[in-house]
Amino acid sequence: MREEIIALLRCPLCHGPLAREGSALMCSHRHCFDVARQGHVNFVPAKRDTFYTKNLFESRAAVFAAGVFAPVIQAISDALERQGVRDGAVLVDAGCGEGYYTKSVCSERRLKRIGFDLAKEAIRLAARGPHEAAFFVGDLANIPLTDRCADVLLDVFTPANYDEFARVLKPDGILVKLWPRAGYLRELRGAARGKLRHDSYDDSRVADYLRAHATALEHSAITYSVPVDAPLAAHLARMTPMLAGIDVDMLDLTDVREITIDMNLFVGRIGARMEEERT
Ligand SMILES: C[S@@+](CC[C@H](N)C(=O)[O-])C[C@H]1O[C@@H](n2cnc3c(N)ncnc32)[C@H](O)[C@@H]1O
Ligand SMILES: [Zn+2]
């Protein structure tokens, strides 16, 4: 892990700065976190089981490699260019999964890219291969990053912790949040009809919670469909929490020839309304 990234980290236990000590990172209270051979760090060493397993992340990797989400990367990159993101900016991807967005957003720019996720398997996959990003296992509720270090905080299909996001973002930092709209993967939900607790998806709760914490600079929909073959449809079914709890390998996906991608893209500032009121 590069020194310029280590300077942005803080100990999750005592919140003090961390420094390299051999092959580990250590704070002044001697809380110690090993740096793995691939360069990632685990700040949540206690094992936690999550829905997000190695198989799931491998399915996700197959879907990303097929380019299903390439238009989303383009839309985020365009939005960040419009907002004036510059080389050297610090981009933090909260709940980054296997790091597809961390590595691909604004790929032309030399950003300081940091991705973290609670799932160890995800971070292990993210750290693989040649890339410029730094990855660690970390919790959204106690982000091991210093106050006001991030220019951009990316939150793609991941729960938000707005107190922590507000702490970690610079005062002029930008939140980029993506979450599903009603049409997202509707063909897969159609194939699972009757097996799901809710046949339709309502995104209004996420939107209301977001609106209570952030002010929009832009808010748009990203909607398109992509042709899929049977293996790709099966990977998509395995990767989505929307089908959690049902045996996706038993679904009949033979009629699924295309998949709808339908999401919200919100770019804004956290707490901007509160700041405005104070001044
Ligand atoms: C639907 S996935 C999205 C992954 C990635 N952002 C993407 O869109 O490709 C949600 C991610 O949030 C992570 N996550 C859930 N709770 C978390 C927490 N408390 N702290 C950090 N990551 C968390 C999960 O492990 C999972 O990787
Ligand atoms: Zn410490």
Which domains are present in the chain?
Answer: 44-278 (3.40.50.150)
Give the three-class secondary structure for 104: helix
Residue owning the nearest CA to atom 9 of ligand 1: 97
Ligand nearest to the CA of 243: 1
Tokens of 56: 């799931």
The percent of residues above 70 in pLDDT, for the chain, comes to 94
161 contacts 183 by C-beta, under 8 angstroms: no
CA 31–ligand 2 middle distance (angstroms):
5
What's the maximum distance between 2 C-alpha atoms anywhere in the chain? Answer: 59
d(CA 73, CA 82): 14
Q: Express each pLDDT in 208-248 by its tens digit.
A: 999 999 999 999 999 999 999 999 999 999 888 788 778 88
Tokens of 268: 């804004």
Q: What pLDDT is attached to residue 49?
A: 59
Q: Express each pLDDT in 175-207 by its tens digit.
A: 999 999 999 999 998 888 877 776 677 788 899
Q: How far, in whole angstroms, is CA 278 from its chain's centroid?
A: 31
Site to probe by mutation for ligand 1, drawn from 63, 69, 96, 118 as the one with most ligand atoms within 8 Å of Cβ, is 118
CA 124–ligand 2 middle distance (angstroms):
24
DSSP letter for 36, please: P
d(CA 174, CA 20): 29
Going by their DSSP bridges, the two strands 32-34 and 24-26 should be labelled as antiparallel
d(CA 266, CA 79): 9
d(CA 95, CA 139): 8
Phi, psi angle pair for 110, to nearest 5°: -90, 90
Q: What pLDDT is attached to residue 252?
A: 87
Q: Express each pLDDT in 5-16 by its tens digit.
A: 999 999 999 999
Q: What pLDDT is attached to residue 274?
A: 45
Which residues form the pocket of ligand 1, taking CB atoms under 6 Å from any ligand atom?
50, 52, 95-97, 100-101, 117-119, 122, 139-141, 156-159, 241
CA 162–ligand 2 middle distance (angstroms):
23
State pTM to two decimals.
Answer: 0.93
Give the three-class secondary structure for 26: strand
Average pLDDT score over residue span 116-130: 92
